[in-house]
Amino acid sequence: MQMIIIEGNIGAGKSTLTTQLSEALGAKAFFEPVTTNPYLEKYYADPKKYALPMQFYLMSNRYGLHQEGIEHIWKTGQSCIYDRSIYGDYIFAKRNWLDGNMSELDFENYNNMRDVMLKNLMVPHVTLYLDAKPETCLKNINSRSRGCESGIPLEYLQGLDDLYRDLVFELKQKGSQVVNIDWNEFRPIDYILERLEDQLPGITKPHNQGYIDQIAIQ
């Protein structure tokens, strides 16, 4: 039984891979709140006003799902897979601070709350990092035509990409097994399973096959 998180830039393809891996591994999948996020469109329209409340909203939701995943693992023995995690949430908070959408005090407040939350959480056993160039992510974003994402500039994606290097380092320091995947072109699910098995023998053996319950953050 494993807790697996999939991290990567906006548009990298995390949701699709989360679905495929949950089916292949017999794992329960958790997805980030895109359609249910009440702040997302407001944030893109006025980031300075909505950056902090949106980050707290997302972090609290991800904290709850992380706890739910821990409980699920212990009760069922089934692995869990996350389409972005509470750890990756930090990338967007720091980007907002660097871009001037959050004040120094706002960012300090966010970090204090994050520290409190992470003290009580299981470190993910595996971090699968989809390493895609910002240009690739922008192309994917434009092709999927989500209205609220239509104005995302390349510079914003480049800024997030820089911060992901720090996140991967942090997760390694905490003891998560990081598997870095070049995600600038399509990779079949068998390729991903082989990479996981190479670094973590036995991880691709399904637990509780047939009990695949994919949910979205509400």
pLDDT of residue 151: 74
pLDDT for 150 equals 64
pLDDT at 215: 32
Give the list of residues 6+ apart from residue 60 with CB closer than 8 angstroms, or none: none
Q: Please determine, for residue 88, whether its predicted confidence score (pLDDT) is greater than 70.
A: yes
Q: What is the pLDDT of residue 111?
A: 96
Q: Where are the beta strands (DSSP E) in the chain?
A: 3-8, 28-31, 80-83, 126-131, 177-182, 215-216
Q: Strand, coil or helix: what is 10?
A: coil
Summarize pLDDT for 183-217 with one digit per residue, the tens: 998 889 999 999 888 877 777 665 444 333 333 33
pLDDT at 43 over 70: yes
User: For residue 145, what pLDDT is reported?
Assistant: 64
C-alpha–C-alpha distance, residues 202 and 105, integer Å: 45
Cβ proximity of 4 and 27 under 8 Å = yes
Spatial CA neighbour of 160 closest among 93, 205, 105, 209: 93
CATH code of the domain occupying 3-216: 3.40.50.300
> Residue 203's closest CA among 90, 114, 109, 127?
127
Longest dimension (CA), the chain: 48
Tell me which of 83, 89, 106, 131 is the catalytic residue. 83
Share of the chain above pLDDT 70, in %: 89
β partners of residue 31: 216
* pLDDT value of residue 149: 64
What are the tens digits of pLDDT across the range 52-74?
999 999 999 999 999 999 999 99
Per-residue pLDDT of 140-176, as tens digits, reads 888 876 666 667 889 999 999 989 989 999 999 999 9
162 is catalytic: no
Looking at every residue in the chain, the average pLDDT score rounds to: 87
